[in-house]
Structure 1
């Protein structure tokens, strides 16, 4: 049941969250330029205010529909989803967020099923015609269907949900929503409630009243602040010493997840944030508090920016009361019912819940089927695209097996969606281990955190050695993936850029992409695929190396195989794990031609020290010779 709710939450938040910036922009423009706004009396305010209605009625729902369609059916699905959403919008004057959440994925699903049926049946040369007309026809049909069916149905749903909220407000029952919201936050089940109900209805309320209390039910930082301050007073050991810094991060940074481990260590203390939030909602209701738009993240800064004129006293009171009540109850619970617990263990529980909420697997020991290591003949390295990180990991393990004298095992790499059914072991990033287990139920799954120098490689080699002790005859030599012989230089001197200044990971990826496009390796679509690949699965692979490459879907934008190399002597802080990256290698490959260069990178960048030495002494000529295998 929990997984189903989490999956539904991911489904909804996956459409809303990528567009939360647009919601914030709408809220700021409304707060500033509506007639009663901060700058409502300013001369040009009336003209600027004309954007508020169209943004709410058209822009935001279409963005949601586009995103939902893209998630299900790619770019074509995004267009079909946007067209279907427009039909729902045209059917009513109501704000059509719920309609967009239905129409977007429906458009993507229809395109996906059409493409599956037509696969292999489109004559050569007619692909573009079929693709364009299928999107136009399916999107147009869905738009008409939305006008007469989906739109009116969504109006009824919105009216029912709105009536439910109104009932809670009129009967002073809204505070009791905290009984669901606070436990749901700790278990990462809140997305279905927050983004499926509160944000759509709250946005409609804000259009009419200029604000909505619904935006503060989940984002209020007061309950979490009170809990963490209670740990500062009544906690013990590590929890007490760490709670102060956690309180600052939670309250100012809006990272509510930081207090979840403190709840999981002593589950009874959930009553503190729960009752605190109830008190905060009651205070907000009594004083007329609320925000003009969703506050993301839920920090005091975001809450302040989204507060309408004249609403500061009410909102700050709601946050303060929630914090004080949460603090008082949590201190009492910790003193009389608190128990010593392991913070690291609780943080691991949070990591597992967060990973599950994203449809990922938490870092774990080897999982999957039990395998007789004596009979292992094929090991597969799997990553999202099967182009870069898995290829380098396969090379590293292949070398370790060779050094250990283990023969007869084929070590190959594949996208996680194409793992062959005859493998016995799959090595993959921990965030992909769930998908790998589904794809290869017969195999043992070994989750790792990075593909370069993972300690799991040595552990696996030791296991294989131990299993092979006493075997009768020597097996044939280790089988290796043979890179296709390209006969061409894949890394050109003009594509080696040294001494780059530190930038963000996305800027580094775009810089690689520009070099690739300038060299005719790919078009803009592949660069976007590189950015999407890093967003969903960071391309920093350890040993101070990152290898930006696109998603499987974006490989159609590759024009020819090529490599680009950029060095960052001062380093780039990469991803949530804050890995240091000093060598960035962009890859565009139509086949396996790039494996030779990846193999050489593995040889010269096996450890962080190796990479640092390479970057510190790098010259264009030396890298050109070394990575192309000329010297």
Structure 2
């Protein structure tokens, strides 16, 4: 059984990597697809402005330009610019030997060209006489490129043509017997598991482009790009969900439908896996509608925004494509609503909190690796993904806005593709599955690895580092508080603000007790307590290892008088969904000090063994807790 699970997991990993690599070739060149699609949609005989003379412009784009760009991108992903040049040369051979747009051939020869020249350079790197480096580099690229082009022309091209013919015949056979809607059974779950790129860019788009050249449009472009199934799930949560899942859907809908970032709805499905039935049903209904009305696009719609779909819709297909979107949305929403409404009415408070905790895990608070950049030095942050587009662009834009709002206009936040990360990048944010490639591409930078580009605490981590020196200075020197007899030294934690052996209560009551302790100590005013409770509704403050760190949301920061913490011990525990907290560390941080306090507490707790933690949970000596948290 374990071997089967391991094999399944390994296959999924391979498919994910394959899909991401294909995405890295296709997505940077979507502009070329759009240019070709618009020209074709305008000037072909069935287009908006039929013009036989201008229609000739589109032919070379699909025949030569786009495959060469794909080949270059594939080679560059393997071995930088030099690999890209070899990939383009090799791709030219497969193009010359075919009478159809050779996208699949480009996806093979591009990476192969980059791989071959990379291996060659590695083999001779210590054998080139001084002064002959440029000569050897140029001639080796030319000779190896020429050989690859010939091999592609006589060998790879015919094989790809034959495979393409078989694949196309099979797909057309499925279409002919009306079984195309069944493709959603594979495509919709694949999207949720991030395998969509392997299917979309590896099979559907190449076939769609061939079909579009013949018939002026293709349904294949809409099988994966249709935002309807995802929108249906989001609407169901909006109508019948509760708490954070319900409140967050309006923003998610805008990003999904208008921005085309489908990844935004994946956590909502993963939170209730039964909703896979909803997106499959919506996808099948949409495809059936598309097939019945004869819809399709002239070119890929990427990202999968309804705006991109409409822009790539040819003359006469608007009704069908809009119906496809609306039917998919309606069916998906109807099915999802049944499950969302049923679970909402049956769930207890604890189960709802577990759902929130699961959502928080999907959001990921960021896996940090040796981020050492100080506030005075940090100037360049880069979000990196396979293609340098989509989610990484959204994440970079979000962080950039937050930093500017916080007054850090001097920090540059951009997005880039793995393989093209600027050499001056100081901090790189990337998906945890791309960690090794990111580190190899930018060894000079510090790295933050996340599971979700848009829903994480990268901003908090950056702010913690920007304010780290200031907070450390305040902690080590103590906080000066004015009193009747002049200024006195006061640390972040006073012994009097440690409460031991408290009776277990609900999570909300415990958080309120922590807030009241902060207020009684003079750190905050009363409104801050409600801010602590509101933050908990948005995202759990349970941080693991039996510790929760409740603190107020940004809207009540004016209620903070000075920085300080309180420690409340509950030996029997407080339930945070499926987790149990034995210590609540209530935090008030003036001028973003709480970010550094959070980081320092987390670092302190990471050093604790399980036995030490158990001591903290049950000790009756406040000095034990004071020594652990006083200088956090």
TM category, shorter: 0.5 to 0.7
Give TM-score scaled by structure 1 length: 0.58
Aligned residue in 1 for 2:28: 18
Aligned residue in 2 for 1:504: none
Note the residue ranges of structure 2 that are not aligned, 5 or more in a row.
1-9, 382-417, 420-425, 441-445, 450-457, 477-590, 594-632
The correspondence of residues 264-413 of structure 1 with structure 2, limited to 5 A, is 264-338=270-344, 339=347, 340=352, 345-351=357-363, 363-364=366-367
2: CA distance, partners of 1:129 / 1:36: 52
The correspondence of residues 84-233 of structure 1 with structure 2, limited to 5 A, is 84-233=90-239
Q: Which ranges of 4 or more aligned residues in structure 1 deviate by more than 6 Å?
A: 386-390, 436-439, 455-458
Aligned residue in 2 for 1:547: none
2:90–2:145 CA contact under 8 A, matched in 1: yes
Classify 1:389/1:308 alpha carbon distance in 2 versus 1 (closer, same or farther; 3 Å).
closer
Aligned residue in 2 for 1:454: 465
1:226–1:326 CA contact under 8 A, matched in 2: yes
Aligned counterpart in structure 2 of residue 77 of structure 1, from 74, 78, 83: 83
2: CA distance, partners of 1:320 / 1:231: 18
Deviations 1:321-372 (A, max 9, x none): 11111111111121224553567645555456xxxxxxxxx82267xxxxxx
2:182–2:284 CA contact under 8 A, matched in 1: yes
Classify 1:348/1:8 alpha carbon distance in 2 versus 1 (closer, same or farther; 3 Å).
farther
Deviations 1:456-506 (A, max 9, x none): 979xx99xx9xxxxxxxxxxxxxxxxxxxxxxxxxxxxxxxxxxxxxxxxx
Aligned residue in 1 for 2:430: 431
Classify 1:272/1:451 alpha carbon distance in 2 versus 1 (closer, same or farther; 3 Å).
closer
Classify 1:129/1:54 alpha carbon distance in 2 versus 1 (closer, same or farther; 3 Å).
same
Note the residue ranges of structure 1 that are not aligned, 5 or more in a row.
353-361, 367-378, 391-415, 418-426, 440-444, 466-606, 610-631
How far 1:248 moved relative to its partner?
Answer: 2.9
Aligned residues: 400
1:294–1:306 CA contact under 8 A, matched in 2: yes
1: CA distance, partners of 2:30 / 2:380: 31
Three-state SS of the structure 2 residue aligned to 1:7 is helix
Deviations 1:59-96 (A, max 9, x none): 11010001111111221211111111010011120221
2: CA distance, partners of 1:301 / 1:343: 33
How far 1:380 moved relative to its partner?
Answer: 9.2
Aligned counterpart in structure 2 of residue 34 of structure 1, from 44, 47, 57: 44
How far 1:118 moved relative to its partner?
Answer: 1.1
Classify 1:301/1:380 alpha carbon distance in 2 versus 1 (closer, same or farther; 3 Å).
closer
1: CA distance, partners of 2:353 / 2:164: 45
1: CA distance, partners of 2:276 / 2:249: 16
Aligned counterpart in structure 2 of residue 3 of structure 1, from 13, 22, 35: 13
Classify 1:100/1:323 alpha carbon distance in 2 versus 1 (closer, same or farther; 3 Å).
same
2: CA distance, partners of 1:273 / 1:11: 25
2:373–2:465 CA contact under 8 A, matched in 1: no
1: CA distance, partners of 2:447 / 2:371: 10
2: CA distance, partners of 1:257 / 1:277: 16
Three-state SS of the structure 1 residue aligned to 2:248 is helix
Classify 1:145/1:321 alpha carbon distance in 2 versus 1 (closer, same or farther; 3 Å).
same
The correspondence of residues 45-56 of structure 1 with structure 2, limited to 5 A, is 45-56=51-62
1:88–1:143 CA contact under 8 A, matched in 2: yes
2: CA distance, partners of 1:47 / 1:436: 46
2: CA distance, partners of 1:130 / 1:99: 28
Give TM-score scaled by structure 2 length: 0.58
2: CA distance, partners of 1:241 / 1:431: 27
Classify 1:187/1:342 alpha carbon distance in 2 versus 1 (closer, same or farther; 3 Å).
farther
1:262–1:346 CA contact under 8 A, matched in 2: no
Are residue 257 (structure 1) and residue 257 (structure 2) matched?
Answer: no
Three-state SS of the structure 2 residue aligned to 1:120 is coil
1: CA distance, partners of 2:284 / 2:361: 26
The correspondence of residues 494-505 of structure 1 with structure 2, limited to 5 A, is none
Classify 1:452/1:132 alpha carbon distance in 2 versus 1 (closer, same or farther; 3 Å).
farther
1:265–1:341 CA contact under 8 A, matched in 2: no
2: CA distance, partners of 1:256 / 1:438: 27
2:439–2:447 CA contact under 8 A, matched in 1: no
How far 1:455 moved relative to its partner?
Answer: 8.6
1:78–1:104 CA contact under 8 A, matched in 2: yes
How far 1:435 moved relative to its partner?
Answer: 2.7
